[in-house]
């Protein structure tokens, strides 16, 4: 199962809870939309399922109320932090390093760094030869950025590990490399990893992900935009 949220309107408190069945990973099934994502509501929803023992794991982002709601309503279930959100947090850490480097260089270099910002967190295997050359040039001329890119790519490699033990070993090595740097954004990310370590590692016990639900979420946004006055229940 996967728990996510979707914003269907502007403003604070506009998030809606969406719950998916992830039994078939490449074809998530929308189970329900709820008009709030309050912890108490999530608990009630989870307790309402008729056969809770069939739920093995629930994929979430790093939002504490989801975790505590699951632990309260379904204590036997594994809470799994979605890989997407770990990589997303790492991408943000790289970008923070990029911005700090950008503030120290010439106007021309600053503009070039901004133009290439997506390059610094792009999967290595997806780079074109020309992009690879540009990335290498940046790494050779900007040591801090090179460290950030290396740490990001290593954390991405976590999700290519074959099993729990390999993943834990890689994460321990990544931790040592982070601590050997002075990159504040990655030290902050490391604390987040520490705080969510059991749930991040549960991904290697229960291999579920919300990755394929984004397409469904986009459909909901489109329906909401076209429908204007539709209520959450109509959607």
- For the four alpha carbons of 110, 116, 117 and 120, in that order, the dihedral sign comes to negative
Predicted local confidence at residue 222, as pLDDT: 67
Domain-embedded: residue 233: no
What residues make up the domain containing 29? 2-82+209-227
Rounded to whole angstroms, the Cα distance separating 43 from 19 reads: 12
Predicted local confidence at residue 234, as pLDDT: 45
Rounded to whole angstroms, the Cα distance separating 119 from 121 reads: 6
The structure tokens listed for 135 are 């990335």
Q: Count up the domains in the chain and report the number.
A: 2
Q: Please tell me whether residues 129 and 188 are part of one structural domain.
A: yes
Q: Please tell me whether residues 18 and 63 are part of one structural domain.
A: yes
Q: What is the CATH number of the domain that holds 51?
A: 3.30.420.10
Q: Please tell me whether residues 64 and 137 are part of one structural domain.
A: no
Q: What is the pLDDT along the chain (235 residues), one digit of tens a residue?
A: 999 998 766 655 578 999 999 988 888 999 999 999 999 999 999 999 888 888 999 999 999 999 999 999 999 999 999 999 999 999 999 999 999 999 999 999 999 999 999 999 999 999 999 999 999 999 999 999 999 999 999 999 999 999 999 999 999 999 999 999 999 999 999 999 999 999 999 999 999 988 877 767 667 666 665 654 444 444 4
Q: Please tell me whether residues 91 and 131 are part of one structural domain.
A: yes
Q: Please tell me whether residues 99 and 189 are part of one structural domain.
A: yes
Q: Please tell me whether residues 125 and 145 are part of one structural domain.
A: yes
Domain-embedded: residue 32: yes
pTM for this predicted structure = 0.88
The structure tokens listed for 13 are 């408190």
Predicted local confidence at residue 228, as pLDDT: 46
Question: Of 141, 88, 87, 92, nearest to 112 (Cα)?
Answer: 141
Q: Please tell me whether residues 90 and 189 are part of one structural domain.
A: yes
The helix-helix angle for 143-157 and 129-141 (nearest 10°) equals 130
Domain-embedded: residue 158: yes
**Phi, psi dihedrals of residue 211, rounded to the nearest 5°:** -55, -40
Q: Please tell me whether residues 97 and 181 are part of one structural domain.
A: yes
Q: Please tell me whether residues 90 and 192 are part of one structural domain.
A: yes
Q: Please tell me whether residues 102 and 72 are part of one structural domain.
A: no
């Amino acid at each position: 199962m996967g728990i996510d949220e979707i914003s269907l309107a502007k403003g604070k408190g506009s998030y809606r809870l969406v719950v998916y069945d992830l039994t078939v990973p490449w074809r998530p099934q929308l189970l329900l939309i709820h008009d709030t994502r309050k912890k108490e509501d999530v608990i009630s929803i989870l307790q309402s399922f008729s056969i809770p023992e069939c739920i093995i794991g629930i994929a979430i982002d790093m939002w504490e109320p989801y975790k505590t709601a699951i632990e309260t309503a379904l204590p036997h279930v594994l809470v799994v932090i979605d890989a997407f959100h770990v990589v997303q947090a790492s991408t943000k850490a790289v970008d923070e390093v990029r911005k700090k480097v950008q503030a120290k260089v010439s106007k021309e270099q600053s503009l070039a760094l901004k133009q290439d910002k997506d390059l610094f967190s792009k999967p290595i295997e997806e780079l074109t030869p020309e992009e690879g050359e540009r990335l290498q040039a940046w790494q050779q001329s900007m040591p801090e950025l090179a460290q950030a890119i290396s740490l990001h790519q290593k954390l991405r490699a976590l999700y290519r590990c074959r099993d729990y033990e390999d993943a834990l070993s890689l994460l321990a090595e990544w931790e040592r490399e982070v601590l050997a740097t002075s990159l504040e954004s990655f030290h902050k990310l490391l604390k987040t990893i520490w705080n969510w370590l059991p749930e991040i590692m549960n991904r290697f016990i229960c291999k579920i992900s919300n990755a394929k639900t984004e397409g469904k979420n986009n459909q909901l946004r489109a329906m909401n935009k076209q429908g204007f006055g539709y209520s959450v229940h109509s959607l």
